[in-house]
Amino acid sequence: MSTQITIEQVSPGDTLPELEIPLTRTVIVAGALATRDYEDVHHDPAQAQRRGTPDTYMSINHTNGLVGRYVTDWAGPAARMVRLSTRLGVPNFPGDVMRLTGEVVGVEEDTVRVAVRGMNSKGGHVVSEVTVRLPRGSEQ
Amino acid sequence: MSTTTQAPASEATDQDAFLARLREFVGLEATPTRYAQDAVNQAMIRHFVEAMGDENPVYVDDRAARDTGREGVVAPPPMLSTWLMVGYKAHTAAAAGAAPDTPMARLLALLADAGFVGVVATNDEHEYVRELRLGDEIKMTTVIEDVSPRKTTGLGTGHFITTLRTYTDQNDEVVARQRFRILRFDPSGAKPAAPAAADPALRHKPFILRDNAFWFAAAAQRRLVIQACTDCGTLRHPPGPICPSCHSYAWHEVEASGRGTVHSYVVSHHPKAPGYDYPLTVVLVDLEEGTRLVADFAGDAGEVEIGMPVQVDWLDYDENLTLPRFRAATSASEPTEEEGN
């Protein structure tokens, strides 16, 4: 966890520290089960292939959880998430690594919009925009 | 992912009839109101944050949560839909064909019978009205908002289904809204070399400056234009401030036909830049009007050869940027439709 940032400390163009997520087979299954997602494409390679993908892959709820975590790691525990919008591209397959990057794209009153991208070796996995409400310096 | 709809005329009527049947579900409640099996609780939150590697203390530590002005521990907002999952028992029953008879189940059965058995989530938008606290009892209503026409994607052809979910608490107050989009696709038509189409929104964007802005503005309207010298009439590309022929600063734009021939091409395998599908075929096109430009080739690498006639096609990178690409010229123009998802 980083320390708490305040709305006054943030400007459009600020970048978030990069985060690498190793995509082990175990974490892909752990994320699916933690979100109570029993779709076979997230844990059964043979079924995933039958359904048209080369292997199992990360669920969207897992991706959303990682994107949310990535933004609040930077924004601090007092930040409150008000919106999250995600578009998925190439899947996150086991054995790969996803690299998350983020940039502040808007500051409005007490909220900040952060554009997040997650890339794996095959290309873009996720493009998200997360809006968080930050405290003011006087509230600290 | 970019998608294209290309239906031969003979199949179009069948597709229209099928789409009409799918569209009958639009506006219906997908499933009856679903109640969370368990109230928002620490055990499920802990499973979630551990799997995410999320160390934010407000999800697990009451005092830390209160220190930030909250009334106590809250659930990670992206965990929203987890509270309303049906659980292992109902999931396996549904997978075995014992799904309750709901509009959503009927819609999915209709698609599965037509071969659309693959499923992938593509878009998800959450609006959090308030954070969920321990003890909250959540329920969810789901409305089928849209079923798309048949689309061809990197995974195969299929239909996108968009649902709108509204989450309310024990006092019937709305706590969150979610718009969720999935693709139901036929995996038998997928190209094995392309497990998924790359998202062109991830590509590096061109530098748009005062001298070339007109060209990109025209492209945004799917118009291919060429800069012409107003004094001597010479066409030039790429755009620049001065005529290379007579050095005049006066210029105007002329509309190109969009037809040309392949002067040269390269097929790139490595290194891979984000947002492109590989092998990536890039063509240098001699336009009918006489200028040349570099663009993507929309088609298989094996299809392209020097001298072949091509015509312009368009690719939407994102809502603000559209650029030309070229495909093999056909005698009659085929309907194409682009959609980012």
B266's CB contacts (< 8 A; 6+ apart) are B281, B282
pLDDT at B330: 67
Q: Using CA atoms, how far apart are residues B10 and B187, in angstroms rounded to an integer?
A: 22
Helix or strand holding residue B218 (H, E): helix B213-220
Judged by a CB distance cut-off of 8 A, whether residue B332 touches chain A is no
- Please give the residue range of the domain that contains residue A17: 7-139
pLDDT digits (tens, 9 = 90+) for A9-24: 999 999 999 999 999 9
Give B141's Cβ-side CA count (13 Å radius): 12
pLDDT at B5: 45
Residue A87 belongs to domain with CATH number = 3.10.129.10
A29's CB contacts (< 8 A; 6+ apart) are A42, A43, A56
Judged by a CB distance cut-off of 8 A, whether residue A36 touches chain B is yes
Question: Low-confidence residues of chain B, pLDDT below 70?
Answer: 1-12, 189-197, 330-341
In chain B, what are the domain boundaries?
8-37+94-189, 200-331
Judged by a CB distance cut-off of 8 A, whether residue A65 touches chain B is yes
pLDDT at B155: 74
Q: Using CA atoms, how far apart are residues B135 and B40, in angstroms rounded to an integer?
A: 5
Q: How far is CA B226 from CA B12, B288, B317, in A?
A: 37, 11, 21
How many domains does chain A fold into?
1
Looking at domain B8-37+94-189, its CATH superfamily turns out to be Hotdog Thioesterase (3.10.129.10)
Of A34, A64, A80, the CB nearest to B51: A34
pLDDT digits (tens, 9 = 90+) for A34-77: 999 999 999 999 999 887 788 999 999 999 999 999 999 999 99
With respect to residue A68, please indicate whether it lies within any of the assigned structural domains.
yes
With respect to residue A75, please indicate whether it lies within any of the assigned structural domains.
yes
B12's CB contacts (< 8 A; 6+ apart) are none
With respect to residue A1, please indicate whether it lies within any of the assigned structural domains.
no
pLDDT at A29: 98
Asked if pLDDT for residue A5 goes beyond 80, the answer is yes
Q: Using CA atoms, how far apart are residues A78 and B303, in angstroms rounded to an integer?
A: 56
pLDDT at B333: 31
Quick one: tokens of B82? Answer: 């987890």
The answer to whether B140 and B84 have CB atoms below 8 angstroms apart is: yes
Residue B276 to residue A36, Cβ atoms within 8 A: no
pLDDT at B10: 53
Of B68, B124, B128, the CB nearest to A81: B128
pLDDT at A139: 58
With respect to residue A110, please indicate whether it lies within any of the assigned structural domains.
yes
